[in-house]
């Protein structure tokens, strides 16, 4: 645990008692704070009270008269579309609002770090798509290289639940826009921006607010090294704002599908090959085509980001390449779950938006595509480039017929249930094809989470394969 500093003897309120909220309450108490808690769910409140925390209803400004700060869990709106009533009460009372990420950064360092040969490093990864895989891949490369590494944040453990890192240790954080938007302290040593596509727009008041939430990771504290995906203008703009000039190698630009050139530091992937260029010279190249755990251009972008982080930390190209080949990928993200008769079954349930689904479609040449669910804003027009790869679509979800009608130029069958979709796709798939779950939609019309949807797909595939 990372004890929270700066609140010794003060009263701090914690709103939301899921994984991050409860761990924040424990870390605050460990640091000497008096902790009040609240959650609208009575079961969550009871669980916290069983640990000795005091529950207080926080929806009135007078509830904050003795409170030094309010710590808010990531899923609770603090501004858009409107503040949670407890957050609104804190704002009206003039009480600072923060989250567990802010507490982590203000509390991580210690006096003992001055005596370490190699002070610990914090690597923070944000972006619309690929941040989980990128974070896990960085952690994997570091571990394979014999480095002490912990994975936390939006993946792995809660940030305040980790062990204090030791000499030469690394903490790899996946940070969502919900987490970066509110944190009062953001001071990673290395910060990664993968890409940007429209998502969570209601929560951030539009695309500009969503980008601004991501940008805070780079603007608030100023990382020593910034690794920026420049396949969109937002990334190009961010890299330009951070760099002092074209040759400033504190900014490493990454891209897929095109060569980057100039006097700076670049890592890019084209036609399945990763290349590192620095000061106008190629430093190394890696063939990614046979890296089983990273199929497709979107995963090659993840590999570029992870490679750049590892190089910044002094790990050699060949050592990185060996680690890439032992990376098995993450559940629900381009996860190979079975093969039979030349047909491969891939679970990409995490492809909950159009951009992520398009990247999944572009990763394979011949696809039996399982898609559908609770459709997000913007429609499905952004999928057009990938539809040439689709032999047939099998649409699930309560609005399967309406979803199918939007898929122009391909055969689409409204199956509604995962069981029927997998059965139909498996029976019609031919050798060399991929049965791909990449929904391009949220799961909440049928499942509690994208994980539950992916688990259902895996179970149906295993049944179809006779396992």
* Alpha-helix runs per DSSP H in 51-200: 85-92, 100-107, 131-144, 177-182
**Pairwise CA distance, residues 20 & 25, whole Å:** 9
Q: Which architecture characterizes domain 109-325 according to CATH?
A: 3-Layer(aba) Sandwich (3.40)
133 known ligand binder = yes
Is 362 exposed, middle or buried (CB count within 10 Å of its CB: 0-12, 13-18, 19+)? middle
Q: Which architecture characterizes domain 11-98 according to CATH?
A: 3-Layer(aba) Sandwich (3.40)
Q: Is the per-residue pLDDT at 159 higher than 80?
A: yes
Q: Beta strands 149-153 and 434-437: pairing type?
A: unpaired
State the average pLDDT over residues 325-351. Answer: 92
CA atoms within a 13 Å half-sphere pointing along the CA-CB vector of 307: 34
Q: Is the per-residue pLDDT at 359 higher than 70?
A: yes
State the average pLDDT over residues 169-188. Answer: 96
State the average pLDDT over residues 165-173. Answer: 94
340 known ligand binder = no
Picking from 282, 237, 243, the residue whose alpha carbon sits closest to that of residue 259 is 282
Q: What pLDDT score does 292 carry?
A: 87
State the average pLDDT over residues 146-151. Answer: 96
128 known ligand binder = yes
245 known ligand binder = no
Classify 253 as helix, strand or coil.
strand
Q: Is the per-residue pLDDT at 319 higher than 80?
A: yes
User: Model confidence over 279-303: pLDDT tens digits?
Assistant: 999 999 999 998 988 988 889 999 9
The continuous run of DSSP H or E covering 268 comes out as strand 265-270
**Pairwise CA distance, residues 181 & 456, whole Å:** 33
Q: What pLDDT score does 71 carry?
A: 98
121 known ligand binder = no
pTM of the model as a whole: 0.87
Cα separation values, 53 from 25, 38, 251, 266, 321, Å: 8, 10, 44, 50, 48
Q: What pLDDT score does 111 carry?
A: 66
Give residue 25's pLDDT band: very low, low, confident or very high (50, 70, 90). Answer: very high
Whether domain 335-461 has CATH 3.30.930.10: no
Q: Is the per-residue pLDDT at 377 higher than 80?
A: no
Q: What pLDDT score does 91 carry?
A: 96
**Pairwise CA distance, residues 450 & 371, whole Å:** 12
What phi and psi, each to the nearest 5 degrees, are found at residue 369? -100, 120
User: Model confidence over 79-104: pLDDT tens digits?
Assistant: 999 999 999 999 999 999 999 999 99
Give residue 199's pLDDT band: very low, low, confident or very high (50, 70, 90). Answer: confident
- Please state the domain extents for the chain: 11-98, 109-325, 335-461
User: Model confidence over 203-262: pLDDT tens digits?
Assistant: 999 999 999 999 999 998 889 999 999 999 999 999 999 999 999 999 999 999 899 999
């Amino acid at each position: 645990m990372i004890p929270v500093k700066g609140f010794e003897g003060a009263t701090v309120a914690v709103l939301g008692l899921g994984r991050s909220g409860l761990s924040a309450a424990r870390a605050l108490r460990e640091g000497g704070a008096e902790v009040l808690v609240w959650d609208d769910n009575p079961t969550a409140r009871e669980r916290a009270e069983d640990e000795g925390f005091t529950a207080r209803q926080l929806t009135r400004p007078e509830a904050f008269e003795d409170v030094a700060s309010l710590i808010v869990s990531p899923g609770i709106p603090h501004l858009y579309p409107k503040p949670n009533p407890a957050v609104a009460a804190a704002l009206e009372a003039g009480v600072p609002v923060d989250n567990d990420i802010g507490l982590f950064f203000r509390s991580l360092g210690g006096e003992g770090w001055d005596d370490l040969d190699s002070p610990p490093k914090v690597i923070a990864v944000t972006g619309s798509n690929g941040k989980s895989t990128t974070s896990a891949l960085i952690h994997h490369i570091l571990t394979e290289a014999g480095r002490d590494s912990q994975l936390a944040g939006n993946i792995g453990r809660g940030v305040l639940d980790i062990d204090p890192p030791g000499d030469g240790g690394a903490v790899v954080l996946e940070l969502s826009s919900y987490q970066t938007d509110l944190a009062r302290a953001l001071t990673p040593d290395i910060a990664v921006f993968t890409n940007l596509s429209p998502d969570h727009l209601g929560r951030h008041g539009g695309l500009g607010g969503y980008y601004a939430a991501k940008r805070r990771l780079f603007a608030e504290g100023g990382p020593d090294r910034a690794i920026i995906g420049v396949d969109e203008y937002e990334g190009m703009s961010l890299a330009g704002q951070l760099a002092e000039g074209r040759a400033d190698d504190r900014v490493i630009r990454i891209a897929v599908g095109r060569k980057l050139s100039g006097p700076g530091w670049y890592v890019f992937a084209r036609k399945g090959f990763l290349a590192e260029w620095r000061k106008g010279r190629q430093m190394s190249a890696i063939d990614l085509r046979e890296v089983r755990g990273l199929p497709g251009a979107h995963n090659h972008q993840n590999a570029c980001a992870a490679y750049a982080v590892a190089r910044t930390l002094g790990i050699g190209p060949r050592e990185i390449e060996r680690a890439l080949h032992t990376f098995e990928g993450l559940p629900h993200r381009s996860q190979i779950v079975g093969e039979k008769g030349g047909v491969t079954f891939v679970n990409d349930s995490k492809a909950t938006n159009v951009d992520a689904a398009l990247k999944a479609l572009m990763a394979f040449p011949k696809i039996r595509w399982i898609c559908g669910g609770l459709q997000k804003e913007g429609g499905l027009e952004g999928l057009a480039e990938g539809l040439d790869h689709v032999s047939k679509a099998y649409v699930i979800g309560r609005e399967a017929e309406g979803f199918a009608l939007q898929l122009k130029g391909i055969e689409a069958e409204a199956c509604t249930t995962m069981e029927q979709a997998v059965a139909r796709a498996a029976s019609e798939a031919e050798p060399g094809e991929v049965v791909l779950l990449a929904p391009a939609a949220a799961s909440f019309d049928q499942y509690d989470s994208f994980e539950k949807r992916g688990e259902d797909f895996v179970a149906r595939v295993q049944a179809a394969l006779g396992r």
